[in-house]
Amino acid sequence: MSIFSTIMGKIFGHKAKTAPTATATKPAPAPAPAPTPAAAPVAPAPPPQPVDVTAVLDDLAANAGQKLDWRHSIVDLMKLVGLESSLAERKELADELGYTGDKGDSAAMNIWLHKQVIRKLSENGGKVPAELVD
């Protein structure tokens, strides 16, 4: 599995703690009688709900036990989702995402990586603030 796929899986698979909604406290309606198989129309599946990346990562950060600035640091973002954030891992992620710059300039590579990971999370159904995507 690729490093980015692992990052995405950790974020998209995490359920952020949210306040219960009013609909969560209402009793469920009685189930409708099951239609016969021949009469059951096939409805398209509803589109997946976007994952609130900020809520998930803020939730993880609140429980991390250390201050991790995922909004600005690819190293902290990787640590937050439980991945190794070594230079070798970041270089592998850079190769995976198509980085063409100098991997010896880790500061520039890290900035590029962070922007690319956030952008790709957004492209794959993640809801992220516009200021992080730009």
pLDDT digits (tens, 9 = 90+) for 32-76: 555 555 555 666 655 567 899 999 999 999 999 999 999 999 999
> Looking at the domain assignment, is residue 97 inside a domain?
yes
Dist CA 128 CA 126 (whole Å): 6
> Looking at the domain assignment, is residue 104 inside a domain?
yes
Residue 106: φ, ψ to 5°: -65, -30
3-state DSSP assignment of residue 86: coil
DSSP summary character for residue 128:
-
> Looking at the domain assignment, is residue 134 inside a domain?
no
What's the structural domain count of the chain? Answer: 1
> Looking at the domain assignment, is residue 114 inside a domain?
yes
> Looking at the domain assignment, is residue 27 inside a domain?
no
> Looking at the domain assignment, is residue 84 inside a domain?
yes
Dist CA 118 CA 132 (whole Å): 7
Give the domain extent around 117: 1-15+49-125
Question: Which tokens is 42 given?
Answer: 């096939």
pTM value is 0.74
Report the mean per-residue pLDDT for the chain.
Answer: 84
